[in-house]
Structure 1
Amino acid sequence: MTNSYAGSDDAAVAIAGVRAGADVIRRMYGQRLDRIDKGAGDFATAADVEAEKTILGVIRAARPDDAVLGEEGGQQGAADTVRQWLVDPLCGTLNYAVGNMLVAVNVALRGGAAAVADPFSGEVFFTDGEAARVRRDGADDALLMPTAATRLVDVNLDPPFPAAPRFRAVDLLARPEFVGRFRPRVVSTSLALAWVAAGKRAAYVTDGGDLSGSVHFAAGIALCRAAGCTVTGIDGAPIGESGRGLVAAADVETHELLMSMMPSGS
């Protein structure tokens, strides 16, 4: 297996982190897990908590001075540190809880390396901040090659909807020009972002505020950017403090088509 470009060592840390988390997710899959209520219909399971604990152990062993923001454990270390890891140990918790294998494990160093693991396919998508690749057991790492050929577009329908009523992702599905060109999918996990980078999806659309520092989206955004995708907010602005939501498309043409379907002023 080829490791020559794993790191910047930060990429190796991200890969080790998501692989360790994925091991936990596979091991606990199918067990009867109590739900930990987080409010507003959201919840975690013991698998989320155990996977995050395991990932944090990997990061602390390799980068003891770095800060970490975890989906379950919150901020650890100084929030204003230059180096902060963003950890989403199980993206797609509801899928997982009902026995659906469409989930992801996300680890990203803010502004740097990132990795996304699909625990059940065994694929690890990663970037050192420059190129994006996929690692599969027994095979050399391969460059991610985004393409819109599938015409499949994942649309995140989960609340909140901060741009409503002007824009809600669900409204996009009712537009004739959307269904005339694309085929909507709802995976309900940010694994779909890695699929955009890998050419398995033409695009991904979600509402929201600034997602650049989100534990859910940071790793997928980093992958898409490194793979050469077009990535902006739903208003076409760069993702950041003033940005809103996310449109990640395999190419400029697909991005422009999707932006043309957004309400004016989104």
Structure 2
Amino acid sequence: MERHVAEIRSFNRFYTRLIGVLEQRVLGTPYSLTEMRVLFELDHRGRTEASELRRLLGIDAGYLSRMLGGFETEGLVVRSRSATDARRQVVELTGKGKASFADFDERAAEEVRGLLADVSDEDRERLVASMATIERILAREPGTSRSYVIRPPRTGDMSWVVYRHGVLYSQEQGWGMDFEALVARITADYMDGYDPRYDAGWIVEVDGERAGCVFCARKDDETAQLRMLLVEPSARGMGIGTRLVDECVRFAREAGYRRMVLWTRDVLVGARRIYQAAGFELIEKRPAGDVVEEVWARDL
């Protein structure tokens, strides 16, 4: 925990310097960052109650009142009483206020364009995806639904499959490089023997990042094999594992297979629940060192 705290604080200091928050004024305007945020909210929300601005931005009522008074003196905002409740004050930008904010907004966009000018397209995608991840994790809004995309594998995905199996199962189960080597061999065999009539794979993306995978491979003329199911911890609880297994079963059935089998280990309780719910039955158990390997099967 303490290491994480230190790293987050270090990032905060870096990012604060980067965006110029330490400066008293923003992008050459006479306004502070907080003042610009108030103007931003008024520009995007239109006519807004002062109490709502306080709630959104966590600003002291007296501080906000003085700020709005200054904006009003400059002709940027106009304040009035609510038509439904005279106790409530509403605020909106004037034409001058809108023009002033539009000028700031363009300068801010130009600053970011300059920041990204020498950054590759790939790194830009990684940057915005990482920012989205930070926002999602720290927002702590469990009621917010997340969407995901399932797509066929692309160049580079198979290396990711091996890498994430190695790292994730090392962290969660203590399995070492022998397991990673096993996954690498399975992956290589899948690619070497790939036939789109009988083999298929699926990669899941959540918030633009790879978050899961599964593969259907030919075992023999009548039997398909479900292989390398993985769901990242950050994406668990979304039903992704179930969806991937369902896709695998559907493909195998449509490809003409009559049976599907899979290999797993008994400690992977979450995966075993998914397999059982999808109609698979345990048909074989065999000790393998410190683990127990299992074979599950179902008719198609």
Normalised by the size of structure 2, how large is the TM-score?
Answer: 0.24
Higher RCO, 1 vs 2 (CA within 8 Å, ≥6 residues apart) = 1
More helix by share: 2
Please identify the structure whose Cα radius of gyration is greater. Answer: 2
Normalised by the size of structure 1, how large is the TM-score?
Answer: 0.26
